[in-house]
Structure 1
């Protein structure tokens, strides 16, 4: 799976801190077609069996200009009901470890919805985020209709989804749609720094916290109690707390 020859639309790099994916269809502004969706599913298979942080970036100065319009124009009712991108983005959102969208340039349509499905978003001054689907006679049907309101509130989400507003980088950061805003040439370093911070945490604690964050409101406090019960029995908790107490003792 780590062999790059396995991918036609993605570039994959593995480090100690995670897996780093670059969307690689610059000739069509990294539009997400069925082949790219299938290859992203294969990345998910890897991360579901071997949980690590995932970063997703674009290439050639653009994150992703949406789904492939040529393919979308030919799709019909049965294709919509298959939820090709919607099911993929749910799977990405549900990956065990956190995911980071690294956004340089435009993230539009399906590209924006891919970014919304990630746990973190880091952008540059060139970042532009929007959903132009209604202008094409369709809806943003891969998660924007519910994720975006959760992320930035209903009034702003309506401006984007109903009136075609495209957010610039500063607006995205002010609305907390972007966690960080850095120069384009610092994006990779910022993503790597965040990967390192996450990787310093206890992996199972991170995974269970992510599940608790995404759980429905009525699943609490049960999911918190069960997660804590599991973690209380781990050697990792014992080791980390012992190290903390020893450091505190040394400071006296």
Structure 2
């Protein structure tokens, strides 16, 4: 299960299990209902003392491989499940602290989109791809996810990513505007922490107000209940 640590003023949210390279119960850090509930609880902790900044990362091969397959195999459960995913995105997008995604490995589908919710994104160069494989899998993009991607990624890039399922390594992801920085594995967390630390002074309720205003249309789309995958 995800866990939280803190060094000085910087919180670090790990999407996997503490003390394990890969979570034995969820090795790809997929968006299970319990997993999402745990992440929300950890974000509650961050929000109780909005005086720092937050780095979101993981360990091992995956940042997150996206949706839980069991949750989308039953048509009657898809819409409520997608609404929960959208709720997590909205939460990260409007936190009262600066957020930095340190993409340590594969970020696919919903996991790739979670990274885009961060204010700043750093990706390691030695391992891992950022990709939206939905078109390959025959899956539509719900309105909220489409809005997220269109707002957070340049138009030419998001068109290619959504319609081809292209896999971007870190250098390409930085070149095409998906992430802000591509760095070596040894520098990933150091770089993410430094960016987060520089933004600590801006934490607080006013930052949340600014984020919500900046992302008002996106947050409205994420809050709209899904219907038949739309």
What TM-score results when the alignment is normalised by the length of structure 1? Answer: 0.73
Q: Deviation per CA, 1:176-225, whole angstroms, max 9, x where unpaired? A: 321221111211111111122112x2434xx5356335425999xxxxxx
Q: Which residue of 1 aligns with 2:164?
A: 163
Distance 1:171 1:194, change over 3 A: same
Compare CA radii of gyration and give the structure with the larger one: 1
Residue 87 of structure 1: CA displacement?
0.9
Deviations 1:131-157 (A, max 9, x none): 112333322438441122222222221
Contact 2:120–2:179 at 8 Å: present in 1 too? Answer: yes
CA contact (8 A) 1:21 1:56 kept: yes
Higher RCO (C-alpha under 8 Å, 6+ residues apart)? 2
Instruction: Kindly indicate whether the alpha-carbon contact (under 8 Å) linking 2:101 and 2:120 is maintained by their aligned counterparts in 1.
Output: yes
On the 8 A contact 2:53/2:197 being kept in 1, the answer is no
Are the aligned partners of 1:89 and 1:143 in contact in 2 as well (CA < 8 Å)?
no
Aligned residue for 1:31, secondary structure, equals coil
Residue matched to 2:226: none
Q: Distance in 1 between matches of 2:78 and 2:4?
A: 28
Counterpart Cα distance in 1 of 2:141 and 2:4 = 27
Q: CA RMSD in A?
A: 2.4
User: Where in structure 2 are the equivalents of 1:117-136 lying within 5 Å?
Assistant: 117-125=117-125, 126-136=127-137
Equivalent residue pairs, number: 207
Q: Per the alignment, do residues 97 and 187 of structure 1 end up closer, same or farther by CA in structure 2, a change over 3 Å counting?
A: same
2:99 maps to 1:107: no
Structure 1: segments with no counterpart, 5+ residues: 1-8, 220-252
Which structure 2 residues correspond to residues 14-33 of structure 1 after superposition, within 5 A?
Answer: 14-24=6-16, 26=22, 27=24, 28-33=27-32
Please state which structure has a larger fraction of its residues in helix. 1
Q: Which runs of 5+ in 2 are unaligned?
A: 218-230
Paired position in structure 2 for 1:215: 213
Secondary structure of 1:99's counterpart equals strand
**Structure 2 partner of 1:181:** 182
Q: Is the contact made by 1:127 and 1:168 (CA closer than 8 Å) also made in structure 2?
A: yes
- Name the TM-score, length of structure 2 as normaliser: 0.80
